[in-house]
Amino acid sequence: MNVQELKQKFGIIGNNPLLERAIDISWQVAPTDLNVVINGESGTGKEVFPQIIHQNSARKHGPYIAVNCGAIPEGTIDSELFGHEKGSFTGATEARKGYFEVANGGTIFLDEVGELPLATQARLLRVLETGDFIKVGSSKVLKTDVRVVAATNINFYQALEKEKFRPDLYYRLNTVPIILPPLRDRKEDIHLLFRKFVNDFSAKYRMPVLRLSADAEQILINYYWPGNVRQLKNIAEQISILEKNKEVNADALLKYLPQYNSNNVPSLHKNDNFNSGQSFDNNDREIIFKVLRDNRAEINDLKKIVYDLVAAKSGRTNNSNNEGLQVINRIYNSDHEELNQNGSGLKIHSPIIQNNPTSSQVIEVEETLSLQEKEIDMIKKALRKYKGKRKNASKELGISERTLYRKINEYSIEE
């Protein structure tokens, strides 16, 4: 079965390469018993992929149970997953089987697995490693044979840093990761999905199919879609029911798109020059700001040296100083333009003194720094200073040892 056949069977709309890659990985991993983690923002359709995996596996005739871990209260999550004995807690009037016992021989889908309490994570780890579990209020060890497919919308790296998720459980679960792209990265699919939804709602509510004008279609495609496919479906249903005019223009569409002007764009976003392909996290910001602080004085000294060299070479005072100032400005302006073109520059302001006998006016020159190069340079310096000892180097850089290790691999830094 190829990707197109899988899309038809499971009702998946879209031709985005990242989406098709996720479908292909699901198909390839299905015959195995490997654990899978599906990563994606809320509303991207993560719940479809465990079904692809289960129905194309040797367990397809066994039970399939989907559990929303974020919807179960912390006090009852162990009982829901592993079961309990009669009288084990207030309200336990009879014994109950948990999901892992019921799903024996099949597949269990743990949605929002990142919301599990740490104590429950420890019990889940034991099930994954040995197949053993104990009911709440019991001392008898039971066995289960269950394949686990997990999904989450959290940033696992941040959860690990904050010790909200166990590293051993993460590596046990994340044998095969499947990453679903957000809707804003699937622009070619947005109008296809919208047309599918409005056609469905037209048949459901027995009303004419609405259509978008060209300008409305562009607005639909360029919207940020924080709620992804789920939000798009809700918008399509609202417009289908509430709009009397079935030819929807841009003004009519804008009424249904919240905060369209701001687009909910985050203040820091992915930089194409970062190999990780992930958004800045707090540790990235910390090391960037430290690089800028530590290098500000060096940059100012360098500018002064260039200024003095130009002045000394020409053997003149006022004119040479003006010439030196122009040279410096040309250097920084050209750097600024080049870095802004490739998206790798960060613009900051740094004062230099204008050489004027009658004035001590301070002017500001915009300078640009390549964040990736500065990060690499600072990491190399810290490693050299402490002779390759990552623990000491990470303290010097103000980041965790785990983050330093990730960045060494990310930038292929030789220690």
Predicted confidence band of residue 94 (pLDDT cuts 50, 70, 90): very high
More confident residue, 115 or 346: 115
Q: 358-394 pLDDT, tens per residue?
A: 444 444 444 444 667 778 888 888 888 888 888 888 7
Higher pLDDT, 267 or 183: 183
348 φ/ψ angles, rounded to the nearest 5 degrees: -135, 165
> In this structure, what are the phi and psi dihedrals at residue 367, rounded to the nearest 5 degrees?
-120, 155
Taking Cα atoms as reference points, which of 202, 193, 284, 183 lies closest to residue 240?
202
Got the DSSP string for 231-246? HHHHHHHHHHHH-SSS
Largest interatomic CA distance in the chain: 97
- Spell out the domains of the chain, with CATH numbers in brackets: 3-179 (3.40.50.300), 183-254 (1.10.8.60), 282-410 (no CATH)
How distant is the alpha carbon of residue 144 from its chain centre? 33
- Residue 307 in contact with residue 332, Cβ under 8 Å? no
Among left, alpha and beta (phi > 0; psi -120 to 50; other), residue 369 is beta
More confident: 290 or 236:
236
DSSP summary character for residue 69: G
φ and ψ at residue 86, rounded to 5 degrees: -60, 130
Helix H or strand E segment including 368: strand 362-370
Q: Global pTM?
A: 0.63
Q: Which residues of 213-235 are buried (b: 16+ CB within 10 A; e: fewer)?
A: eeebbebbbebbbbbbbebbbeb
Confirm if 264 and 224 have CB atoms less than 8 A apart. Answer: yes
